[in-house]
Amino acid sequence: MVEQAAKKLTIIGITFAVFILSGCANMLPPGGGPPDTIPPKIEEAYPLNGSTNFHDDYFELSFSEYVDKRSVKDAIFISPQVEGDLDLSWTGTTVRVYFPAPLKPDVTYNVTIGTDVVDYNNKNRMADAFSLVFSTGNKIDHGMIRGTVYDEKPSGVMIFAYKVSGDTIDPAKRKADYLSQVGTTGAFTVSGLADGEYRVFAVKDEYRDFLFQPDQDMIGIPSHDVFLSSADSIFNGLNFSLTKIDTVGPRLFSAVMTDKHHILTTFSEQVDSSSFNAEKFAVIDSTTKQTIPVRFAFKGRAKEKEMVLALHDTLSEKAEWYLLAKDIKDLSGNTTPHDGISLTVSDRVDTSSPTLMRTIPQEHTADVDFQNTAIAFYFDNEFNVSSLKKKIAFTDTTGNNVRFTMKKLDDASFVLNPEQKLKSLETYIIQFNFKDVVDIAGNSIDSLYRYSFKTFNGLNFTGFSGKVENLDTLKNPLLFLESTKNPSATVTAKPNGKGEFTFSRIEPGKYKLYCVYDTDNNGAYSPGFPYPYKPSEEMMYCKPEINLPPRWEVTDFKWDVKAVDMPVMKPQLPNQENTQEEAPQK
């Protein structure tokens, strides 16, 4: 009996345990399902936005979900700034933030919660910055500046706003009077501003030190200062394009001979290849003052910050050699007038023949433009590029010669351009012998090289025309059409006095359209300079992207640069004249 009772108790116990466990299991969230992609947001705040006579020592925020506490602390920006560390006290999804010291009387404060806030589970960022404005006095400053930062990844870019008093605003040395942060769309708002004049910068503040560091941060410079008054307290449309400000010329970091004829140079930054030629270098013996000229300069297989030099003469390992350089430019146009560094010498023999690394476009390409043809050849070693031209044969498939010009890119690369318009849907051949490509050590290959390409059908081109309204024609407006696939393939068009424009022979695809007031008339966007302050040129972006389909012409496009509405687009089939004009030639 005792044994049977024990068995019953055991069964009851197991049943009870299963019941409890099953109940607990039902309390767990179901597994699987799509990942959470919804960004957190602030649902409530204390005090209410626009409150006056605020005298508490804290403010409070309630989020829509659990968020990473550290990300919240790092994303709180208070303008005007308060000295000391904030103290955060959490209760679930609500945080109470205590000020380190009493706030100043009769001051409007703007608390911005930036887009660096992420949720706890999936690290989704807040889509837009949140702004809480209140005053310790009996009135609120209602000034507001709105705008957009145009960048591939604008989220997290800081907005530095300064009250203008004189011309001493250097964002590299002075922290901003007001701060905000850009959302995922690039839009930003700086609010709670008093009447007065403001200078605003957009800074990709990598170290979050609230200062512009030229060596690491990108910056957007305003096209003008903003003046706010009680009669006009809101400014819309302050747009920014981020740029890297570089004021230092490239420096030689190292010079090492890879063999008895070649010197691999390393610079502090990427250099402008057009300024990199043999005449700007020399090798000198510091003891005897003997100078050895450099004969060739080229890129070859060198890395981004490297270039290669070549010498006819060999160097004695017993001497102390130095490499001297002059007038070397970086990509920003900064020049190093004179530089020098000790040279590590080698007696290694060079036995490698020059090799063709790549061509642009690639061999056997079938989509080369028959009107704007350029074929570039890049070798890994130096040779007399100019002497090769008369040994190159450029023909069609029937053997007819094509006249061409040849431009040396450096001492190991060149580009060929036909002097006449090629035929569409036609194959062309470029031939030369590798034995004519001889490096400084006498290495070459005795073999014939044959490169072919085919031109595309001009009927696949598209066109884009229309009208831009509310342009200030006195500021020299210039339109830019930038391919989203290849941003370097950007074309420009000058609108007429009525704002009408035409882009012709455009490859199909998606494009960004923007307008620049080209006040310096250089045909490009001028980004300005932070200090001494030089304003950027004013820029307006059109949204959304422009889709240009093949064989269809987009006409009657209308864009009001002062409006926020979507522009009007009207696609149209190409007319018979255009079809005949681009027909394949025979």
Domain ranges of the chain: 42-244, 252-342, 356-456, 460-581
pTM: 0.76
pLDDT (tens digit, 9 = 90+) per residue, 183-242?
A: 889 999 999 999 999 999 999 999 889 999 998 999 999 999 999 999 999 999 999 999
Residue 132 has pLDDT above 90, yes or no: yes
Half-sphere exposure of 352 (CA within 13 A, CB side): 13
pLDDT at 32: 52
Task: Please check whether residue 441 is in contact with residue 261, taking contact to mean a CB–CB distance below 8 angstroms.
Answer: yes
Cα–Cα separations (whole angstroms), residue 450 to 148, 413, 460:
51, 17, 28
* Confidence class for position 586, pLDDT limits 50, 70, 90: very low
Return d(Cα 218, Cα 483) in angstroms, integer: 23
pLDDT (tens digit, 9 = 90+) per residue, 16-67?
A: 343 333 443 333 344 555 778 899 999 999 999 999 999 999 999 999 999 9
Residue whose structure tokens are 């560091």: 213
The correct answer on CATH 2.160.10.10 for the domain covering 252-342 is no
Residue 367 has pLDDT above 90, yes or no: no
What are the backbone angles phi and psi of residue 550, rounded to the nearest 5°?
-65, 140
Return d(Cα 454, Cα 429) in angstroms, integer: 9
Residue 577 has pLDDT above 50, yes or no: no
Cis peptide bond prior to 30, omega within 30° of 0:
no
pLDDT at 564: 58
Residue 85 has pLDDT above 70, yes or no: yes
Task: Please check whether residue 197 is in contact with residue 227, taking contact to mean a CB–CB distance below 8 angstroms.
Answer: yes
pLDDT at 25: 38
CATH of 356-456, one of 1.10.287.130, 3.10.129.10, 2.60.40.1220, 3.30.300.180: 2.60.40.1220
pLDDT at 513: 96
Cis peptide bond prior to 47, omega within 30° of 0:
yes
Q: What is the mean pLDDT of residues 122-146?
A: 94
Q: CATH topology for 460-581?
A: Immunoglobulin-like (2.60.40)
Determine if residue 419 is left, alpha or beta; phi over 0 gives left, psi from -120 to 50 gives alpha, anything else beta.
alpha
Residue whose structure tokens are 């510091």: 286
CB atoms within 10 A of CB 100: 11
Q: What is the mean pLDDT of the chain?
A: 89
Q: What is the mean pLDDT of residues 231-258?
A: 93
Q: CATH topology for 42-244?
A: Immunoglobulin-like (2.60.40)
Q: What is the mean pLDDT of residues 525-529?
A: 95
* Confidence class for position 486, pLDDT limits 50, 70, 90: confident
Taking the alpha carbons at both ends of the chain, their separation in whole angstroms is 109
Task: Characterize 126-160 residue by residue with b for buried, 16 or more Cβ atoms within 10 angstroms of its Cβ, and e for exposed.
Answer: bebbbbbbbbbeeebbbbbbebbbbbeebbbbbbb
CATH fold match for the domains 42-244 and 460-581: yes
In 251-290, the DSSP E strands lie at 252-257, 262-267, 281-285
Q: What is the mean pLDDT of residues 80-93?
A: 93
Q: What is the mean pLDDT of residues 431-453?
A: 96
Return d(Cα 425, Cα 376) in angstroms, integer: 20
pLDDT (tens digit, 9 = 90+) per residue, 381-423?
A: 999 999 999 999 999 999 999 999 999 999 999 999 999 999 9
Task: Please check whether residue 171 is in contact with residue 212, taking contact to mean a CB–CB distance below 8 angstroms.
Answer: yes
From the centroid of its chain, how far is CA 300? 26
Q: What is the mean pLDDT of residues 326-346?
A: 93
